[in-house]
Structure 1
Amino acid sequence: MAKKGRKYLEAAKLVDATTSYSLEEAVALMKKASYVKFDESVELSLRLNVDPRHADQQIRGAMVLPNGSGRSQKVCVIAQGPQEQEAKDAGADFVGGKELIEDMKKGWLDFDVIVATPNMMGELGKLGKILGPKGLMPNPKTGTVTMDVKKAVEDIKKGKVEYRVDKDGNINVLIGKMSFDDKKIIENFTALYDVVAKARPAAVKGQYFLNISLSSTMGPGIKVAV
């Protein structure tokens, strides 16, 4: 494990690892503990009492945060016909059909999100070994496999984020930037928390949220009591 730097250790001293702070306190403390000069991302981490090996406990989806994510994303749309123009008009960075799929086969991946129409998934699906490990494969659950490419692109540009539970029951999502005022971070946090809370599987018994924490890119994790 990499040794933590002096500034990180000083920042960590501000946070009591045994305490769960109110959301307002956690946001204020996160900003107080920031020690870098760039605009850090803010990440919400949730540890859930779920077993992702069961299909009904694989929590996954996407949503547009009330105040956006603060992150600009390059969108690639794989479509043919009228949807190509719709995607361009909506602000997609790259639009095309099989020619873009061929470029991906050769290693071109200069984008953050792929949106595809259902009729293109047969060809795109063959790139599972390339796109899958990078989390780039479009999925109907996240709204990235759709005929309504206009809405999909617009939502992503507005600050749509994806959330997905990993094999250990954790969800980690970027919910803003440190330059956001406290109110915007709190609103984004609450919106995502509510969506995940509503997705609670019927099979889960007892406590659902095992741990909730906020952190900046370089800062320590801060436990949040909700």
Structure 2
Amino acid sequence: MSKKLTKNRKKILEKIDKNKKYSLEEASILLKEISFVRFNASVDISVHLNIDTRLPNQIVRGTVRLPHGTGRNVRVLALVTKHKELEAKEAGADYVGLDYLEKIKSGWRDIDVIVTMPSVMDQLIPVGKILGPRGLMPNPQMDTVSMNPGNSIKEIKSGKISFKTDRYGIIHASIGRVSFNSQLISNNVKAFINKVIRSKPSSSKGSYIKSIYLSTSMSVSVLVDSKSFIKK
């Protein structure tokens, strides 16, 4: 098995010119050619921003609805009050009810996103240390704390994702699957980058985007020429 992976990796490296910045169209096509895993790998994006993450007002975060979704079923837990449980279920939540707080304390983690209501946030404090490091803590800025949880759940299920810079000023996100054709991948990338650009802090000076890389699960990264699709 290791020999096969090595052979595949060698083929991949031969396809990629590390000194080249690929147009978005080229990169979207190349991604499908360098994925060798036997499952429907995710297409991931890494955007390095010219910001100072030591300054709270330069942290970039937000949400964006990808036009073609992520290609995966996002497991949503709705921590809502009794009178909102039916709304959450009808909106497509996979798990509903405050009883799941105890399951989380016991180690249950089979979820991708948690949606809740302002009136419930205090009850999440005891599990904050569990949810926070995993990026699961609901946040109003991510539209996961809402008076209308049903709307939030529908948007998440239809392809809305959240993003936030890490301590190095890089945003990592999954924006599709290898099974997508190159045009769908390109469209999702454009929607994602456009939202990141609109989220630029007013205090950020100079060139905002340092680099954009695309990759698939377990593949090497492809450097994308932002000038090929970002309108100045």
Counterpart Cα distance in 1 of 2:162 and 2:123: 23
Instruction: Name the counterpart of 1:101.
Output: 101
Partner of 2:137: 137
Aligned to 1:6: 7
Measured after TM superposition, the shift of residue 74 of structure 1 is: 1.1
Does the 8 Å contact 2:82/2:97 carry over to 1? no
> Helix, strand or coil for the counterpart of 2:47?
strand
Partner-residue secondary structure (3-state), 1:5: helix
2:203 paired with 1:213: no
**2:128, 2:179 → 1: CA distance?**
37
Give the letter aligned to residue 162 of structure 2.
E
Structure 2: give runs of 5+ residues left out of the alignment.
227-232
2:78 matched to which residue of 1?
Answer: 77
Q: Determine helix, strand or coil for the equivalent of 1:13.
A: helix
Say if 2:92 is the partner of 1:91.
yes
Instruction: Please give the alpha-carbon distance, in whole angstroms, between the structure 2 residues aligned to 1:174 and 1:54.
Output: 26
Identity %: 40
Instruction: Give the ranges of 4+ consecutive aligned residues of structure 1 lying more than 3 Å apart after TM superposition.
Output: none
The whole-number CA distance in structure 1 between the counterparts of 2:202 and 2:7 is: 45
Post-superposition Cα deviations, 1:169-205, rounded to whole Å, max 9, x if no partner, equal 1001101001111111111000000000111112222
Match of 2:51 in 1: 50
Q: CA deviation at 1:37?
A: 2.5
Q: State the SS of the aligned residue for 1:76.
A: strand
Asked whether the equivalents of residues 117 and 149 of structure 1 are also in contact (C-alpha less than 8 Å), the reply is yes
Measured after TM superposition, the shift of residue 6 of structure 1 is: 3.3
CA contact under 8 A between 2:62 and 2:199: conserved in structure 1?
no
Query: Which residue of structure 1 lines up, in the alignment, with residue 170 of structure 2?
Result: 170
Q: What amino acid sits opposite 2:89 in the alignment?
A: K
TM-score of the superposed pair, with normalisation by structure 1: 0.94
Q: Which residue is 1:110 aligned to?
A: 110
Equivalent residue of 1:43, what SS?
strand
**Matched positions, count:** 222
Gaps of 5+ in 1: none
When structure 1 is superposed on structure 2, of 120-129 and 163-172 the one drifting more is 120-129
1:26 counterpart residue number = 27
2:9 aligned counterpart, secondary structure: helix
Deviation at 1:33, TM superposition (A): 1.9
Instruction: Give the structure 2 partner of residue 154 of structure 1.
Output: 154
2:50 & 2:119 partners in 1: Cα distance?
37
8 Å Cα contact 1:83-1:147 kept in structure 2:
no
